[in-house]
């Protein structure tokens, strides 16, 4: 298992800079008053393809040799990673195949196709997904880019907090949502080197709290089919992300479905941005752990904005 380093982040930053945005940081006086903290929202919902995953995907795609690149990339993801890998492959002009359950929302399939990728459907089971994916790779020779348990992907995500600490001075802490742990691992990679005094908190839905339980137990625990409105956060930790979480995360806090939706609505109303339920989990945990964050300068990662505006969780 290769553990990515600060140099990998720095190389990623240079490699992906033509293909990703340096996203803005937004603030709200009213959210500061509500939390008692100074909150700095790093808006990766405004990132290319609508999610921070454009960073990791671009780093993986643009790091391939010409030879590898010709055979393209492949992944299995019904979420933002599939869309972002398709985006990055499209920018390099190479093939991208995304294996998705046939039951995935049409909008997700259209997003992959919209950036030029190919969707191959499988049945909605792990067995089918693995079989179909193996077939794709055997046929195309495509390079597998895992959504998060991949050192190239983590080095790419790590560029986000490198920007954040340049954009906001004297932060005390950063809070990021945790699913598989790609963003949190990237945050750990960068901050443990460049700002080791910063506390790193992960935020997770109560109804998909496998990372929280893993962190408390000291070993990876996977949930069986968790269900939460924060649909980007259902996946489990893997060995590489577990390495970062175990070694560098200060604590993991959880929030209920109700708290997540309330926080999401607050952000829509106060920051005027469209973001996913997953991205609201950090604010939800900050508001319910006021004693930890009050008086502190806190970076909050808004991870993505790919939500169906026709089906909002409060309608």
Between 131 and 274, name the residue whose CB sits nearer to a copy of itself: 274
Between 19 and 201, name the residue whose CB sits nearer to a copy of itself: 19
Binding segment for a copy of itself (CB under 8 A), chosen from 131-139, 148-156, 157-165, 271-279, is 271-279
Considering the rule CB under 8 A, would residue 269 count as an interface residue with a copy of itself? Answer: yes
Considering the rule CB under 8 A, would residue 283 count as an interface residue with a copy of itself? Answer: no
At its nearest, how many Å lie between a copy of itself and the CB of residue 273? 6
CB-based contacts of 278, cutoff 8 Å, min separation 6: 177, 179, 230, 231, 232, 233, 303, 304
Considering the rule CB under 8 A, would residue 274 count as an interface residue with a copy of itself? Answer: yes
Residue 263 and residue 40: Cα distance in Å, rounded?
15
CA separation, residue 4 to residues 81, 188, 241, 307 (Å) = 19, 11, 11, 31
Residues of 199-209 as b/e, b for ≥16 C-beta within 10 angstroms?
bbbbbbbbbbb
Binding residues for a copy of itself, total number by CB under 8 A? 21
Which tokens belong to 24? Answer: 């803005």
Considering the rule CB under 8 A, would residue 114 count as an interface residue with a copy of itself? Answer: yes
φ/ψ region of 299 (left if φ > 0, alpha if ψ in -120 to 50, else beta) reads: beta
- Are 4 and 155 within 8 A, CB to CB? yes
| C-alpha angle 46-52-53 in degrees, rounded to nearest 5 | 135
At its nearest, how many Å lie between a copy of itself and the CB of residue 95? 20
Between 248 and 268, name the residue whose CB sits nearer to a copy of itself: 268
Considering the rule CB under 8 A, would residue 168 count as an interface residue with a copy of itself? Answer: no
Which tokens belong to 99? Answer: 């294996």
At its nearest, how many Å lie between a copy of itself and the CB of residue 48? 8
The contact pattern for a copy of itself, residues 24-63, with x = CB under 8 A and - = no contact, is x-x---x--------------xx---x-------------
Binding site for a copy of itself (CB under 8 A): 24, 26, 30, 45-46, 50, 114, 265, 268-269, 271-275, 305, 309-310, 312, 314-315
């Amino acid at each position: 298992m290769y553990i990515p380093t600060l140099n990998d982040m720095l190389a990623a930053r240079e490699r992906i800079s033509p293909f990703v945005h340096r996203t803005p940081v937004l603030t709200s006086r009213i959210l500061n008053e509500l939390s008692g903290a100074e909150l700095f929202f790093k808006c990766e919902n405004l990132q290319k393809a609508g999610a921070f995953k454009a960073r990791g995907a671009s780093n993986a795609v643009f790091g391939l040799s010409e030879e590898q690149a010709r055979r393209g990339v492949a992944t299995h993801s019904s979420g933002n990673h599939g869309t972002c890998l398709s985006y990055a492959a499209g920018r390099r002009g190479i093939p991208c195949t995304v294996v998705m359950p046939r039951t995935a929302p049409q909008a997700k399939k259209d997003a992959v196709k919209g950036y030029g990728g190919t969707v191959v459907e499988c049945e909605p089971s792990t067995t089918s997904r693995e079989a179909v994916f193996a077939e794709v790779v055997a046929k195309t020779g495509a390079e597998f880019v895992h959504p998060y348990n991949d050192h190239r992907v983590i080095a790419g995500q790590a560029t986000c907090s490198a920007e954040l600490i340049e954009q906001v001075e004297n932060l005390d802490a950063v809070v990021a949502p945790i699913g598989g742990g790609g963003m949190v691992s990237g945050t750990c990679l960068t901050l443990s080197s460049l700002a080791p005094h910063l506390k790193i908190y992960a935020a997770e839905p109560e109804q998909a709290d496998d990372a929280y339980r893993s962190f408390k137990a000291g070993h990876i625990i996977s949930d069986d089919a968790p269900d939460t409105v924060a649909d980007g956060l259902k996946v489990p930790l893997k060995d590489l992300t577990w390495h970062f979480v175990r070694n560098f995360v200060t604590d993991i806090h959880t929030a209920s479905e109700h708290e997540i939706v309330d926080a999401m609505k607050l952000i829509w109303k106060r920051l005027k941005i469209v973001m996913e339920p997953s991205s609201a989990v950090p604010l939800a945990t900050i508001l319910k752990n006021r004693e930890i964050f009050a008086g502190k300068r806190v970076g909050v990662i808004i991870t993505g904005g790919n939500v169906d505006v026709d089906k909002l969780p409060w309608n």
